[in-house]
Structure 1
Amino acid sequence: MENRFEASRSSQITPVAHTRPSAFIKLFHKHKYYYLLLLPGIIYFIIFKYIPMGGIMIAFQDFKIAGSMFTSPWVGLKWFRILFESPDFWVALKNTVIISLYKLVFNFPAPIILALLLNEVLSGTFKRIVQTIVYFPHFVSWVVLGGILFSVFSVDTGLLKLLGFSSSPMMNPDAFRGFLVGSEMWKEAGWGTVIYLAAIAGVNPELYEAARMDGANRFQLVRHITLPSIASTIVVLLILRTGQILNAGFDQIFILYNPLVYNVSDILDTYVYRVGLTMGRYSFAAAAGLFQSVVGLIMLLTTNWLVRRMGERGLW
């Protein structure tokens, strides 16, 4: 009886072990075209994101451009000590955090509000025209936009001269941070609505019809149906945005700032570029970059944990 039981048990277990690879192969074969579409993205991240991570080594070395990171001498935490002992680093860190928080508070809700407003537009033609207008700045580089902004906000030849202003926010330390927030909102808010409009399009229309039958007005529809339905999308984008808390926008600030506003606009990226890269201190620049990445990872993990604690669905 025992031998018969063991034989029957082994006959039941063995096929399961053999069917797992075949089930995976069948699943892969069924969705092979989706995996093929995914392949370029995977290759991109491997080449440009994961392989360069090996360069982190030079943050702990005395690296010279004429040498190699495999032969450069190890110096431990030397560059991190130099980084943290520099007064300019703490000024740049402070400016980075302040500008990032300003952009998070004002620029993150802007695409949501704009998407809700566009969703309420009944005329399809007018809606498409507005979308085209607000999308367009996203496709223009900061180099071009910087030239436009310099021309418009010049007190000598720009719009400010026509309006009678004697000072420009681009030259005023008290107004420059607000100018950065406003210019980025103008450039990116329209493009950010793409994701939210796509999420709103997936809301079940029957929910709106049922709410209208109960007497809900348009504001109540937005508050009780649209916003809760896209809450998961908002949360995911918020988590990703907080992971970039030390990335205040190098391209924008590098194009727009000037010596008059260095004390309020010099962020970590511009500081590293000026002190690390232009002076050939690549190990110093790598140490600063590693510091930014670690802080971003901590912020990402913390925000995801807080979101899950509040009952929302996080990234994982």
Structure 2
Amino acid sequence: MKHIKWGIIGCGDVTEVKSGPAFNKVPNSSLVAVMRRDAAKAADYAKRHGVPKWYDDATALINDPEVDAIYIATPPLQHEEYAIQALATGKPVYVEKPMALNSEAAKRMTAAAKQHNVKLSVAHYRREQPLFLKIKALLAQNAIGDIRFVDLKMLQPKRNDLIAKAESNWRMDPAIAGGGLFHDLAPHQLDLMLYFFGQVKNFHGISLNQTGDEHVDDLVTGHILFENKVVFNGMWCFSVAPGAHEDRCEIYGSRGKISFPMFGHEIELTVDGKVENIAFEPLQHVEQPMIEKVVSYFIGDAENPCSGEEAIKTMELLDGFTLKSI
């Protein structure tokens, strides 16, 4: 198979610009079908994006013989069900992050891919963006010397513009999303830490609902000791005052530091006291570089850019940071 014809399950807001159009823009790929439970909205999406087919039933899309591969972009609650169903038909799956509601569900999805010998990739798409590839290259070059620790802060007021707009506030329903904004945003950040620093030795965290306004935690701290002795400290708070927001990750080394936002376009590199700013052009479709790599993997021309096994590790960190003692 040298050309992938895609079907999207869950053609909601996240697919409008971030991912959906990219399936027709990368080599050896085309979007041929979309599904949404609301038939009128599925038809509207297909019309606006020039997609030949639309469905209001996921099973029908999965079983469409003209669909080669499935992109699952529903809320996390449905990821496991649809992924396992698609894998059982022999169709490779690209699933949005977080991979599932929890690490146990992610393990079942990965086991299904192995059982049916079908490819599975997870949309930790920052791995393939130029800014984060540059950071990985700087680390590989030992640009700031031996790495000591990482300090990450994601501080946001209750109303923010970081998440894709949606008709319902499903991200605040743990039964659908696994948790609140932490579960929506932290997978990007934690996956990058694993991508940069490798195997985890141990980890723990604190998670609580300080405001009591929702049924999800709005403050999470997380601490990781990597096998290479790098220490990570993270703080996520989604109830700070307007104007007190912060999106900053700083990697400290023996000769300097790398400072960057998760939702921005510039790296500040400090080496031996000298500061350099490295800017990047915003991407029109933030998932396009990852989708290109996934297509190459599915047709047999590249390695998996993010496997289920790798994404399970991120899910275990999410679970561990938010674990409640009984």
Work out which structure has the larger RCO, using CA pairs closer than 8 Å and 6 or more positions apart in sequence: 1
TM-score under structure 2 length normalisation = 0.21
Name the larger-Rg structure: 1
Flag the structure with higher strand content: 2
Q: What is the TM-score when the length of structure 1 is the normalising length?
A: 0.21
